[in-house]
Amino acid sequence: AQKVTQAQTEISVVEKEDVTLDCVYETRDTTYYLFWYKQPPSGELVFLIRRNSFDEQNEISGRYSWNFQKSTSSFNFTITASQVVDSAVYFCALRGPGTASKLTFGTGTRLQVTL
C-alpha cells in the first residue's frame, strides 16, 4: 500500500523567510512518481513538480526547490524568500507504476505568509 505523510499541518512565516515543507512517503514499488501541488485560496489544484524514483537530482525553479532522498523516503519542498502569494495549501502525492495506478495524496500543509 502507498502512503504519504505531511506531518506539518500548518506553518506560518513572515515574508522573506525561507520555509521547508516536509513529505515522507511509503511504497513497495521500485518505480514510482512523486508530485507537489499547490492549492491557493481560490481552490484550484496547481501542478508544481513531478519526479520519478530513478532521478534523485534536486531541482530548483526560481524560489522553489525540491530535495528528493530515497534513503529517507522524503521529497521535501523549500520556498526561498517566501512571499504573501505563496500562501496556500501544498500537497505532496505519490503515484505507482502502471497506467492505472492511482495518485495518493498527503493531507496537505497550509502555509501562511504574512507581511
Partner 1 sequence: NAGVTQTPKFQVLKTGQSMTLQCAQDMNHEYMSWYRQDPGMGLRLIHYSVGAGITDQGEVPNGYNVSRSTTEDFPLRLLSAAPSQTSVYFCASSSGALGETQYFGPGTRLLVL
Return residues touching partner 1 (CB under 8 A). 4, 31-33, 35, 37, 43-45, 47, 50, 52, 91, 95, 97-103, 105-108
CB of 61 to partner 1, least distance (A): 15
Cell numbers given for 33: 512518481
Q: Give 33 or 64: the residue with its C-beta nearer to partner 1.
A: 33
Compare residues 83 and 107 and give the one whose CB is closer to partner 1: 107
Q: Specify the residue, 4 or 79, whose C-beta has the smaller distance to partner 1.
A: 4
Nearer to partner 1, 77 or 108 (CB): 108
Torsion, CA 64, CA 18, CA 32, CA 98, rounded to 10: -60
* Closest distance of CB 14 from partner 1, Å: 26
Q: Which long-range CB contacts under 8 A does 6-10 form with residues at least 24 apart?
A: 6/90, 6/91, 6/92, 6/106, 6/107, 6/108, 6/109, 8/109, 9/107, 9/109, 9/110, 10/109, 10/110, 10/111, 10/112
- Shortest reach from residue 102's CB to partner 1, in Å: 5
Least distance in Å: CB of 53 to partner 1?
9
